[in-house]
């Protein structure tokens, strides 16, 4: 991923194939092979996304479980969305930036912190069963230092997400 930047420095474009010399035969083979690589990788990327959306839809609408209508509908919806995004974002760099901001933020920061906070939450003991409601101050007082670090990282990543997304949109609009 970083090899083009080592080879071309700051002059590399978002689609690094455009920085390669056209006179080289290996580059021509790469140009021919790239669409086939994308065509074979797209269904592999589409499958888990379609399964995830289908599980969410069938949770709310159980009668659609394992129906051809749901399968075709989600596939067509993903194809339309991906085609629209490909038409809207002509620059590959902008697409990768959107994927990086949205996907990486949630997969690398938000979801792990949220899961850690839920798993490692120290709940008050059941000794005081007469007290049905425990105050949040008592619950928060029993947490570990690492739990507070995870909470700080979660809050920071949630605060930086709109800032980074706004910055990307601003740079795309103003060029």
* CA distances from residue 114 to 117, 146, 151, 158, 165 in whole angstroms, order as listed: 5, 13, 8, 11, 21
Q: What gap in Å lies between CA 68 and CA 50, rounded to an integer?
A: 13
- pLDDT for residue 148: 94
Q: Is the Cβ–Cβ distance between 110 and 158 less than 8 Å?
A: yes
What sign results for the dihedral spanned by CA atoms 171, 79, 102, 1? negative
Q: If pLDDT is split at 50, 70 and 90, which confidence band does 102 have?
A: confident
The most confident of the ranges 9-18, 31-40, 128-137, 145-154 is 145-154
Reported as a single tens digit per residue, the pLDDT across 104-146 is 888 888 889 999 998 988 877 655 545 556 677 888 888 899 9
Q: What gap in Å lies between CA 116 and CA 125, rounded to an integer?
A: 20
Collect all residues with Cβ–Cβ distance below 8 Å to 109 and sequence separation of at least 6: 153, 154, 157
* Domain extents in the chain: 1-88, 91-175
Reported as a single tens digit per residue, the pLDDT across 47-67 is 888 888 888 888 888 888 888
| Helix (H) and strand (E) counts in the chain | 7, 0
Q: How many CB atoms lie within 10 A of CB 140?
A: 13
DSSP label at residue 124: P
């Amino acid at each position: 991923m970083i090899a083009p930047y080592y080879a071309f420095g700051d002059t590399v474009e978002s689609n690094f194939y455009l920085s390669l010399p056209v006179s080289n035969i290996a580059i021509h083979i790469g140009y021919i092979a790239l669409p086939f690589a994308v065509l074979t990788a797209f269904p592999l990327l589409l499958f888990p996304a379609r399964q995830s959306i289908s599980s969410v839809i069938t949770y709310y609408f159980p009668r659609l479980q394992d129906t051809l209508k749901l399968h075709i509908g989600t596939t067509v919806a993903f194809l339309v969305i991906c085609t629209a995004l490909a038409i809207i974002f002509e620059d590959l760099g902008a697409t990768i930036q959107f994927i990086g901001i949205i996907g990486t933020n949630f997969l690398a920061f938000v979801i792990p912190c949220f899961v850690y906070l839920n798993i490692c939450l120290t709940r008050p003991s059941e000794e005081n069963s007469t007290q049905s409601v425990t105050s949040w101050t008592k619950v928060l007082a029993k947490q570990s230092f690492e739990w507070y670090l995870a909470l700080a990282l979660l809050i920071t990543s949630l605060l930086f997400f709109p800032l980074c997304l706004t910055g990307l949109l601003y740079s795309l609009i103003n060029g």
